[in-house]
């Protein structure tokens, strides 16, 4: 062997070694790429789960923070009310206390006079303060001071002062004088702009506190007002809208019981809204069937009944306090809604008329029916107000039922796909969404869905195959080129180098082919699994739709009972108190 042959042989060995090492490195890189691809898929799945959990955590944290903030604000507003208007509470507590103290003779006239004058000094602009001075002057028969104090109270608040003395005179059995004050109050009232104290009139009607004569006066006046206002279409529509908001608020939260239907049906929002709306019928039944009958809380003592109504009158918020109580109601709504500010704002907006300084007569009635606590109305007054509002409730309920029934989709469609794609073999498998309709038989839908996947699985799997034929042709051409290049120098070395390169390259090609075949089989398995999940999703959604339909039918079937309840509410009537017609006598047996 010549020196050239030895050197050439050595070079061939070096090239062969390099080819083998390159082959090993390529195989290692291929394995690493596969491992990285698998890790990337797992990372993407974990990241998606983490994002979902993080969003859920952020939402829960935000709701909790909103609740805590609202609770803090509630304390702040209550402290502000106590600081700025706490002195009014003392005046309010004293008003009825003076009357009750006179009843039992446990307070001297001097003490009452001193307290009333102190309160007048402490609350110079409050209408009730001079009224207390008048009460203190009354038993002393100080006519001049009493008249002066009454005039001052009347100047500050004509409506409340009129009601106050009408109730006090009725409490003392002086019916004619009480009716005169009541006439005076009613004559100056505008049914389109009533003060918040008008709720006391409704309370007097429900409790029968003024006796037959005054009751007829009130009923005639209110009937005239109602007849006038009922010609105002916008006023009536406003009440219907408010009752509609009340019924809308009875709908439950979004359902979590139909996850597959929610995931794959474009009509899910409409389906869920219809089910929630149908469920409002039972909530309405539970809410309004529980309102007690008017006669359940009637006292057999005139003084007790009038004192309760007086409490309502004197404890009514002053106009300056209303903005604070409106703010307080919003913060409490946030707490009640579990921190959902949007839901709380909707509830507060629906109840906003309850905190208006002046409202029309129809709105006052609706407020007494929907939110009696806001104006201090009793359950008996609420019952009577609901009866008066029954036509608006019936109209709102009929419109509510009609709207959600009309919104039920006539066709429930399905969209099943893989929006994010599936990473396989270093590539992304994209599956366009399959569209179907439950108006079609489920078996036919399954065949269509299966065909939709089959048409795309095998072409994608084939695309992952290793192009062995082309690579073999390239290998053959390369080996032939090496042989032809070196055969002139040394036939043996040319054959050896061609065999080494061809063998090493062939081994690499076979490994790549086997790896591609393995990837194909794995991809086919994964895609078949996704295909089966899609079929399972179809069947699960079909089963959930059947459950939804049954739930909807059951909930919607309560509508006639709710309608019957609303019709029955119109039977509410003014009760007859056990003390109607009786007179109050003094300690010497004389009729007052």
Q: Which stretch, 105-114, 251-260, 514-523, 554-563, has highest mean pLDDT?
A: 554-563
Q: Which residue do the tokens 């004197």 mark?
A: 314
- Tokens at 245, concatenated: 């908001």
Mean pLDDT of 379-386: 81
Mean pLDDT of the chain: 78
Pairing of strands 427-437, 413-424: antiparallel
Among residues of the chain, what percentage have pLDDT more than 70?
74
266 and 286 in contact (C-beta within 8 Å)?
A: no
Per-residue pLDDT, 275: 94
Per-residue pLDDT, 522: 75
Query: CA-CA distance, 168 to 152, in Å (whole number)?
Result: 17
Per-residue pLDDT, 412: 92
Helices (H) and strands (E) counted in the chain, each on its own, are 21, 4
Least confident of 167-171, 244-248, 514-518: 514-518
pLDDT of 306 above 60: yes
> pLDDT higher for 58 or 493?
58
Burial class (CB within 10 angstroms; exposed 0-12, middle 13-18, buried 19+) of 204: buried
Per-residue pLDDT, 136: 85
Per-residue pLDDT, 426: 63
pLDDT of 424 above 60: yes
Least confident of 94-103, 130-139, 360-369, 490-499: 490-499
- Tokens at 415, concatenated: 């969209």
Mean pLDDT of 86-113: 78
> pLDDT higher for 409 or 350?
409
Per-residue pLDDT, 293: 58
Q: Name the residue among 371, 364, 319, 317 with its Cα closest to residue 349.
A: 371
> pLDDT higher for 300 or 288?
288
Least confident of 232-236, 294-298, 441-445: 294-298
Burial class (CB within 10 angstroms; exposed 0-12, middle 13-18, buried 19+) of 410: exposed
> pLDDT higher for 37 or 369?
369
- DSSP letters, 436-486, are EETTS-HHHHHHHHHHHHHHHHHHHHHHTS--HHHHHHHHHHHHHHHHHHH
pLDDT of 89 above 70: yes
Give 346-388 as a 3 state SS string.
HHHHHCHHHHCCEECHHHHHHHHHHCHHHHCCCHHHHHHHHHH
pLDDT of 146 above 80: yes
Per-residue pLDDT, 592: 36
pLDDT of 398 above 90: yes
Q: Name the residue among 381, 386, 359 with its Cα closest to residue 370.
A: 386
Q: Label residue 24 by pLDDT band (50, 70, 90).
A: low
pLDDT, one tens digit per residue, over 117-144 is 888 888 878 888 898 888 888 878 888 8
Mean pLDDT of 40-60: 69
Calculate the CA dihedral of residues 213, 218, 224, 227 and round it to 10 degrees: -120
Q: Label residue 78 by pLDDT band (50, 70, 90).
A: confident
> pLDDT higher for 213 or 161?
161
pTM here is 0.64
Q: Label residue 39 by pLDDT band (50, 70, 90).
A: low
Q: Which stretch, 22-31, 103-112, 161-170, 549-558, has highest mean pLDDT?
A: 549-558
Q: Label residue 580 by pLDDT band (50, 70, 90).
A: very low
């Amino acid at each position: 062997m010549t020196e050239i042959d030895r050197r050439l042989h050595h070079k061939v060995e070096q090239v062969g070694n390099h080819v083998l090492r390159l082959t090993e490195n390529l195989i290692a890189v291929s394995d690493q790429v596969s491992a990285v691809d698998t890790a990337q898929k797992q990372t993407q799945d974990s990241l998606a789960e983490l994002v979902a959990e993080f969003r859920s955590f952020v939402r829960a944290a935000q709701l909790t923070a909103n609740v805590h903030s609202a609770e803090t604000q509630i304390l702040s507003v209550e402290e502000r009310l106590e600081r700025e208007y706490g002195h009014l509470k003392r005046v309010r507590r004293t008003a009825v206390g003076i009357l009750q103290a006179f009843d039992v003779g446990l307070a001297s006239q001097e003490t009452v006079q001193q307290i009333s004058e102190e309160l007048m000094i402490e609350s110079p602009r409050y209408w009730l303060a001079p009224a207390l001075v008048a009460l203190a002057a009354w038993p002393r028969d100080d006519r001049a001071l009493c008249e002066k104090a009454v005039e001052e109270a009347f100047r500050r608040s004509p409506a409340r002062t009129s009601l106050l003395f009408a109730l006090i005179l009725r409490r003392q059995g002086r019916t004619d004088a009480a009716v005169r004050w009541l006439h005076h109050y009613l004559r100056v009232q505008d049914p389109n702009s009533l003060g918040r104290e008008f709720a006391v009139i409704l309370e007097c009607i429900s409790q029968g506190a003024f006796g037959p004569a005054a009751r007829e006066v009130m009923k005639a006046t209110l009937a005239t007002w109602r007849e006038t206002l009922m010609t105002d279409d916008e006023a009536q529509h406003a009440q219907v809208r408010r009752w509609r908001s009340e019924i809308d608020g009875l709908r439950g939260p979004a359902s979590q019981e139909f996850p597959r239907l929610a995931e794959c049906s474009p009509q899910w929002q409409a389906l869920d809204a219809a089910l929630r709306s149908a469920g409002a019928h039972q909530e309405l039944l539970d809410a309004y069937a529980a309102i007690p009958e008017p006669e359940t809380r009637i006292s057999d003592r005139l003084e007790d009944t009038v004192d309760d109504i007086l409490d309502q009158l004197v404890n009514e918020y002053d106009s300056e306090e209303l903005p604070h109580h409106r703010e307080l109601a919003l913060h409490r709504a946030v707490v009640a809604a579990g921190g959902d500010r949007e839901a709380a704002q909707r509830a507060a907006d629906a109840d906003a008329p309850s905190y208006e300084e002046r409202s029309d007569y129809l709105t006052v009635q609706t407020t007494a029916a929907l939110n009696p606590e806001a104006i201090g109305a009793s359950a008996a007054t609420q019952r009577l107000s609901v009866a008066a509002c029954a036509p608006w409730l019936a109209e709102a309920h009929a419109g509510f039922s009609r709207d959600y029934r009309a919104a039920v989709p006539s066709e429930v469609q399905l969209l099943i796909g893989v929006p994010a794609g599936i990473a396989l073999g270093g590539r992304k498998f994209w599956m366009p969404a399959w569209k179907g309709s439950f108006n079609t038989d489920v078996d036919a839908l399954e065949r269509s869905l299966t065909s939709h996947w089959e048409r795309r699985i095998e072409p994608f799997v084939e695309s992952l195959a290793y192009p062995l034929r082309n690579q073999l042709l390239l290998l053959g051409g390369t080996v032939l080129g090496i042989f032809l290049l070196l055969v002139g120098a040394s036939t043996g070395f040319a054959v050896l180098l061609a065999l080494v390169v061809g063998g090493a390259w062939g081994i690499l090609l076979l490994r790549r082919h086997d790896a591609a075949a393995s990837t194909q089989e794995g991809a086919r398995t994964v895609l078949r699994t996704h295909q089966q999940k899609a079929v399972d999703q179809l069947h699960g959604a079909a089963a959930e739709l059947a459950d939804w339909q049954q739930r909807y039918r059951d909930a919607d079937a309560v509508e006639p009972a709710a309608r019957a309840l609303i019709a029955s509410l119109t039977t509410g009537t003014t009760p007859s108190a056990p003390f109607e017609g009786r007179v109050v006598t003094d300690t010497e047996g004389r009729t007052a």
